[in-house]
Amino acid sequence: MKYTQLGRTGLKVSRLVLGTMNFGPFTDEADSHAVMDAALDAGINFFDTANVYGWGDNKGRTEEIIGSWFAAGGAARRDKVVLATKVYGNMAGDGEAWPNHDRLSALNIRRAVDASLKRLQTDYIDLYQFHHIDRLTPFEEIWQAIDVLVQQGKILYAGSSNFPGYKIAQANELAARRGSYGLVSEQCLYNLYERRAEMEVIPAAQEYGLGVIPWSPLHGGALGGILKGAEKGRRVSGRAAELLTDPAIRSQVQAYEDLLDKHGADPGETALAWLLTRPGVTGPIIGPRTAEQLESALRAVELELSEELLAGLDEVFPASGPSPEAFAW
């Protein structure tokens, strides 16, 4: 495994991030533990989750599964992991939402972090991320709450997820004026197909020293060799199935798979390896349901993409370009 600093921090994290969203809904506790064992054995030390994972009436279940894994391995296991979770969504069951049980008020942040710590069976969270911007809560209040948690030792760093570039700037400018450390990472939708983050989000992250953590690196499976898999009888569902109903997108995905056939490259591994070449990227989030799926993702870390292949990928999936040039002329 290769490692890098998380943004401007001194924290060393693996170039692949273990995403845990499948733990609970699709992967049972025993298999989830096996995936985490395999990830740690492979050198992945950066685990990402969220308080709402488990979904519906099972919100929090994913954190509980991680917590039971920590408990089974003792303090040494916890010490090896850089643990990231998120706050924003309402944790009540479906149809039971209650005021102040969501968003980023100081009250909800305080309540949510204590609940996450209990489920995770740990006394601190390395990276506490805002799952979405909160248009109703000022950053003055948010940073006051975060500073208290840092002083209490409950969290070490704060990060964002799904923030636009101007909110990254706004958050960190205010943090600097307060003497707070500010955001150290941004978790955003970014992959070969979806490159809009290159316009403003990634430049803002680089300007303010945030590590970029792309989610959905295979765009819901569309970049994982989906057409070839369908030919072999593999079921296509979710976002990928919706995309392929558009003839233009289907043609683009076909061109992608044809290009990789020409180079003898695996689509899923190439999509991950491409993200690892991108400026500002700390590491993509992978979400294996099984240890076998994890093995495929690990090969991407060592994969070297030729200049010819990189140019071909840009032709199939053109860059949005940085702002303001992308939309000014």
- Residues with Cβ within 8 Å of 151's Cβ and at least 6 positions away in sequence, in order, are none
Question: Using alpha carbons only, what angle is made at residue 31 by residues 72 and 299, rounded to the nearest 5 degrees?
Answer: 105
Average pLDDT over residues 123-134: 98
- Residues with Cβ within 8 Å of 75's Cβ and at least 6 positions away in sequence, in order, are none
Q: Rounded distance, CA 25 to CA 29, Å?
A: 10
For the CA atoms of 81, 82, 83, 86, the dihedral, rounded to the nearest 10 degrees, stands at: -160
pLDDT category of residue 97 using cuts at 50, 70 and 90: confident
Angle (deg, nearest 10), helices 267-276 and 291-302: 50
Percent of the chain with pLDDT over 90: 86
62-85 pLDDT tens trace: 999 999 999 999 999 999 999 999
Query: Sign of the C-alpha dihedral, residues 228, 232, 237, 241?
Result: positive
Q: Rounded distance, CA 143 to CA 160, Å?
A: 12
53, 181, 190, 208: the catalytic one is 53
**Three-state DSSP state, 14:** strand
Q: Is the pLDDT of residue 111 over 90?
A: yes
Per the annotation, the verdict on 53 as an active-site residue is: yes
Average pLDDT over residues 143-154: 98
pLDDT of residue 233: 67
